[in-house]
């Protein structure tokens, strides 16, 4: 993306690779801190860029009774979403823009798949639907236009979400 709410991930010079098993061993050490109500937020870039690793990690989290939040834009396949659905408590989804061309300019991809995937999760039966938190970066001159904000409001009226977070 041209902008990123997770700037820490842009510099990977000090990157350390872990297997899912190694990572869960580190995570479990913090379980006394977050207890039964807390958990792990898996972010990145985007956790769906490594779907096999993501599936293995979320399975291990659930096996260890650890709640899972995925911080994602949902630019992925329905198969990848379906694979992790039983293990994810919250999808924290970053919305970038509602015009497909502007979205492509800002992120390199169109928003169609992303919006379809949000609706896909939103339309799941309530007993199978994880919580959805939406995050929207307010970027002057790009995402704060009347047309785009109207599209956001219209989309929200058609979506089962728990909260929307406006990020400056």
48-75 confidence digits (pLDDT tens): 999 999 999 999 999 999 999 999 999 9
Q: Which residue has the higher pLDDT, 35 or 30?
A: 30
Single pTM value for the model:
0.91
pLDDT at 119 over 70: yes
Q: Is 13 exposed, middle or buried (0-12, 13-18, 19+ CB in 10 A)?
A: exposed
Cα 119 to Cα 128: distance, rounded to the nearest angstrom = 14
Q: What is the pLDDT of residue 118?
A: 98
Q: What is the pLDDT of residue 3?
A: 64
pLDDT at 5 over 60: no
The three-point CA angle 148-133-67 to 5° equals: 160
């Amino acid at each position: 993306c041209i902008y990123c709410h997770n700037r820490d991930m842009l510099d990977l010079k000090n990157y350390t690779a872990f297997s899912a098993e190694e990572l869960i061993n580190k995570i479990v050490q913090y379980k006394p801190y977050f207890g039964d109500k807390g958990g792990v937020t898996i972010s990145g870039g985007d956790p769906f860029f490594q779907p096999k690793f993501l599936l293995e990690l979320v399975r291990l989290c659930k096996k260890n009774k650890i709640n899972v939040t995925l911080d994602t834009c949902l630019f992925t396949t329905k198969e990848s979403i379906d694979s992790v659905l039983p293990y994810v408590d919250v999808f924290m989804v970053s919305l970038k823009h509602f015009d497909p061309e502007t979205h492509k300019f800002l992120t390199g991809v169109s928003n169609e798949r992303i919006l379809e995937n949000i609706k896909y999760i939103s339309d799941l039966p309530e007993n199978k639907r994880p919580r959805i938190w939406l995050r929207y970066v307010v970027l002057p001159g790009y995402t704060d236009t009347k047309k785009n904000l109207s599209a956001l409001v219209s989309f929200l009226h058609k979506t089962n979400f728990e909260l929307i977070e406006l990020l400056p």
